[in-house]
Protein backbone atom coordinates (compact mmCIF):
# COMPACT_ATOMS: atom_id res chain seq x y z
CA UNK A 1 0.00 0.00 0.00
CA UNK A 2 1.26 3.47 -0.87
CA UNK A 3 1.39 6.31 1.66
CA UNK A 4 0.86 10.05 1.72
CA UNK A 5 2.59 11.58 4.74
CA UNK A 6 1.86 14.96 6.29
CA UNK A 7 4.66 15.56 8.79
CA UNK A 8 4.53 17.68 11.91
CA UNK A 9 1.52 19.83 11.10
CA UNK A 10 1.61 22.57 13.75
CA UNK A 11 -1.75 23.24 15.39
CA UNK A 12 -2.66 25.38 18.40
CA UNK A 13 -5.30 24.12 20.76
CA UNK A 14 -6.24 23.57 24.37
CA UNK A 15 -5.17 20.02 25.20
CA UNK A 16 -4.63 18.47 28.60
CA UNK A 17 -6.15 17.66 31.96
CA UNK A 18 -4.30 20.07 34.26
CA UNK A 19 -5.76 23.51 34.96
CA UNK A 20 -2.57 25.10 33.62
CA UNK A 21 -2.94 23.22 30.31
CA UNK A 22 -6.58 24.29 30.00
CA UNK A 23 -5.91 28.05 30.33
CA UNK A 24 -4.00 28.72 27.13
CA UNK A 25 -3.60 27.22 23.71
CA UNK A 26 -0.43 25.26 23.17
CA UNK A 27 1.53 23.96 20.20
CA UNK A 28 0.75 20.41 19.12
CA UNK A 29 2.38 18.55 16.23
CA UNK A 30 0.32 16.12 14.16
CA UNK A 31 1.75 13.64 11.67
CA UNK A 32 -0.48 11.47 9.51
CA UNK A 33 0.23 8.70 7.03
CA UNK A 34 -2.65 7.99 4.66
CA UNK A 35 -2.46 4.50 3.17
CA UNK A 36 -4.06 4.23 -0.26
CA UNK A 37 -3.48 2.86 -3.73
CA UNK A 38 -1.92 5.81 -5.58
CA UNK A 39 -1.23 4.05 -8.90
CA UNK A 40 -4.16 5.53 -10.75
CA UNK A 41 -3.16 9.08 -9.80
CA UNK A 42 0.45 8.36 -10.72
CA UNK A 43 -0.51 7.04 -14.13
CA UNK A 44 -3.14 9.66 -15.00
CA UNK A 45 -1.52 12.72 -13.40
CA UNK A 46 -5.05 13.95 -12.60
CA UNK A 47 -6.10 15.45 -9.26
CA UNK A 48 -9.46 13.69 -9.58
CA UNK A 49 -7.64 10.35 -9.21
CA UNK A 50 -5.63 11.43 -6.16
CA UNK A 51 -6.22 11.85 -2.44
CA UNK A 52 -6.57 15.60 -1.86
CA UNK A 53 -4.17 15.92 1.05
CA UNK A 54 -4.54 19.69 1.12
CA UNK A 55 -8.18 19.23 2.14
CA UNK A 56 -7.13 16.60 4.70
CA UNK A 57 -4.75 19.17 6.20
CA UNK A 58 -7.46 21.84 6.31
CA UNK A 59 -9.87 19.46 8.06
CA UNK A 60 -7.25 18.54 10.66
CA UNK A 61 -6.54 22.22 11.33
CA UNK A 62 -10.26 22.97 11.64
CA UNK A 63 -10.80 20.04 14.03
CA UNK A 64 -7.91 21.07 16.27
CA UNK A 65 -8.45 24.82 16.17
CA UNK A 66 -10.61 25.76 19.11
CA UNK A 67 -10.86 22.19 20.34
CA UNK A 68 -10.73 21.53 24.05
CA UNK A 69 -9.78 17.86 24.25
CA UNK A 70 -8.54 16.63 27.59
CA UNK A 71 -6.66 13.63 26.20
CA UNK A 72 -4.18 13.45 23.36
CA UNK A 73 -5.80 10.12 22.50
CA UNK A 74 -9.13 11.83 21.83
CA UNK A 75 -7.57 14.29 19.40
CA UNK A 76 -5.73 11.43 17.66
CA UNK A 77 -9.01 9.50 17.26
CA UNK A 78 -10.71 12.55 15.73
CA UNK A 79 -7.86 13.05 13.27
CA UNK A 80 -7.88 9.36 12.27
CA UNK A 81 -11.64 9.51 11.70
CA UNK A 82 -11.26 12.56 9.45
CA UNK A 83 -8.53 10.84 7.43
CA UNK A 84 -10.59 7.68 6.92
CA UNK A 85 -13.59 9.72 5.75
CA UNK A 86 -11.71 10.43 2.49
CA UNK A 87 -12.48 8.02 -0.33
CA UNK A 88 -9.53 5.79 -1.10
CA UNK A 89 -7.86 6.06 2.32
CA UNK A 90 -7.79 2.52 3.71
CA UNK A 91 -5.61 3.09 6.78
CA UNK A 92 -4.49 6.11 8.79
CA UNK A 93 -1.45 6.27 11.07
CA UNK A 94 -1.69 9.31 13.35
CA UNK A 95 0.86 10.76 15.74
CA UNK A 96 -0.09 13.61 18.06
CA UNK A 97 2.89 15.13 19.84
CA UNK A 98 2.96 17.64 22.71
CA UNK A 99 6.36 19.34 22.79
CA UNK A 100 7.59 20.12 26.29
CA UNK A 101 4.79 18.24 28.03
CA UNK A 102 7.14 16.09 30.11
CA UNK A 103 10.01 17.40 32.14
CA UNK A 104 13.39 16.25 30.78
CA UNK A 105 11.79 15.06 27.51
CA UNK A 106 11.54 17.00 24.28
CA UNK A 107 7.96 15.77 23.83
CA UNK A 108 5.41 13.07 24.51
CA UNK A 109 3.35 11.54 21.71
CA UNK A 110 0.51 9.16 21.02
CA UNK A 111 0.64 7.01 17.87
CA UNK A 112 -2.45 5.20 16.65
CA UNK A 113 -3.40 3.21 13.55
CA UNK A 114 -6.98 2.95 12.35
CA UNK A 115 -8.30 0.95 9.38
CA UNK A 116 -11.43 1.50 7.34
CA UNK A 117 -14.01 -1.01 8.56
pLDDT band of 100, cuts 50, 70, 90: confident
Where does the pLDDT of residue 81 fall: very low under 50, low under 70, confident under 90, or very high at 90 and above?
A: very high
Cβ atoms of 93 and 32 closer than 8 Å: yes
The domain ranges of the chain are 2-115
- From 82, 78, 80, select the one nearest 93 (Cα to Cα): 80
CB atoms within 10 A of CB 18: 9
Confidence of residue 101 (pLDDT cuts 50, 70, 90): confident
Return the CATH class of domain 2-115: alpha beta
Q: How many CB atoms lie within 10 A of CB 62?
A: 12
For the chain, the straight-line distance linking the first and the last C-alpha, in angstroms and rounded, comes to 16
- Does the predicted model carry a pTM greater than 0.85? yes
Give the residue numbers annotated as catalytic, written as ranges: 98
Amino acid sequence: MDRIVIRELLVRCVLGVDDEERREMQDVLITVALHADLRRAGESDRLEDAIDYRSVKKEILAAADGSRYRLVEALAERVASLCLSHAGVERADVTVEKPGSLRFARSAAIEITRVRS
